[in-house]
Chains A and B, each alone.
Chain A
Amino acid sequence: EVQLVESGGGLVQPGRSLKLSCAASGFTFSDYNMAWVRQAPKKGLEWVATISYDVSSTYYRDSVKGRFTISRDNAKSTLYLQMDSLRSEDTATYYCARHPGSRFDSWGQGVMVTVSS
């Protein structure tokens, strides 16, 4: 069974940093592209970033480019999202998702990030 477990969320002040982690199990992590998708409170889904299975490529939405960094450790089956210069509009639940063929076929339970002073 595919399992994705996010951690690292919390309350952070504007301008500060936070790093999310996603521990994967139940599949060969190094075979799959992975992604982060977020959902602001009471809002819809928004793709944030993608990393290829072999770490050769990364992609970001414009609003996080230069502030967020997606990475992975295939030896540890773990996905990361380093979030710097956080803004109030980054407040959301962040989901880790398995990402074959540019769709999201398995999702974690999500982790809440609140950016507020």
Chain B
Amino acid sequence: DIVLTQSPATLSVTPGESVSLSCRASQGITTSIHWYQQKSNESPRLLIKFASQSISGIPSRFSGSGSGTDFTLSINRVESEDFSVYYCQQSYSLPLTFGSGTKLEIK
């Protein structure tokens, strides 16, 4: 199975700061990575597909980059509604796997 390691586990930031969240795959997965946001007591929401492709309706402050084993989700100028948990997911091979998540919290 492909293991996705997300870091840090928790990130404390002040609104207005820009942040980068990391997702590292246990083997090369080209750009077969997708990012999700899950707010407390809500369902996940797709933010970015295939490492860097934007999703309709998602604010432009969210962007993704990377290929191979190292991937990054960037949030430009964090807003209050962005404080939640972020997951990466690989679609390179079965079983589909998720990272353990990064919690973005208010400092």
Interface residues, chain A, with chain B CB atoms under 8 Å away: 44-47, 50, 59, 61-62, 95, 101-110
Contacts and interface: CB of A to CB of B under 8 A. Distances in A.
Interface string B72-103: 00000000000000010101001111111100
Nearest to A102: B91
Where chain A touches its partner, the secondary structure class is mixed
Interface in B28-78: 32, 34, 36, 38, 43-46, 49-50, 55
Where chain B touches its partner, the secondary structure class is loop
Interface of B: 32, 34, 36, 38, 43-46, 49-50, 55, 87, 89, 91, 94-101
A109 B41 CA distance: 9
B66 to A, nearest CB: 16
B22 to A, nearest CB: 16
B43 A108 contact: yes
Contact of A107 (B45, B94, B95, B98): B45
A47 B44 CA distance: 13
Contacts of B50: 101, 103
A107 B43 contact: yes
A61 B89 contact: no
Contacts of B44: 45, 95, 104, 107
Given A103-B34, A103-B89, A47 B46 contact: no
Nearest to B45: A107
13 contacts: A44-B100, A45-B36, A45-B44, A47-B89, A47-B95, A47-B97, A61-B95, A95-B44, A103-B46, A103-B91, A104-B36, A105-B46, A109-B43
